[in-house]
Amino acid sequence: MVRKALPLSGAEFVARAQAAAPSTPDDVSVVVHDWLGWTDDEIRSVTAPTLLVIGDRDFVRLDHAAEMLDLFPDCRLAVLPGTRHTELVQRSEQLRAVVGPFLA
């Protein structure tokens, strides 16, 4: 049983894509944008408390994150200031401050 969910999409996906086949940022953006994502019903079916983390300079727009926040049954949203999508993993102090209490 999943007790809590911290979906790792973009930053982890981009890092893996770049490691597997070094490419330009434009190439990686195409790969990320070609992924069709989860359906609304798939998101609504997640029963574990969920934490979404985005950057305020993310290609994931704040309005889209707010929509996902409403779709997940038990969800929290953290927006890291001055952060692009691929920089999320570099914000270890900010991530610890948000993720630690969520997982506790």
- Whether 29 is in a domain gets the answer yes
> 11 pLDDT band (50/70/90 cuts)?
very low
CATH of the domain at 21: 3.40.50.1820
Cα separations in angstroms, 34 against 21, 22, 37, 50, 70: 17, 18, 9, 24, 24
- Specify the pLDDT at position 30: 47
Q: At a CB cut-off of 8 Å and minimum separation 6, what does 41 contact? A: none
Q: Evaluate if residue 70 carries a pLDDT over 70.
A: yes
Tens digits of residue pLDDT in 46-69: 888 888 888 888 888 888 888 888
- Whether 46 is in a domain gets the answer yes
Domain, as residue range, for 56: 10-103
- Specify the pLDDT at position 79: 92
Q: Evaluate if residue 14 carries a pLDDT over 70.
A: no
Contact 50, 74 (CB under 8 A): yes
Q: What's the number of domains the chain is made of?
A: 1
Classified as helix, coil or strand, 53 is: strand
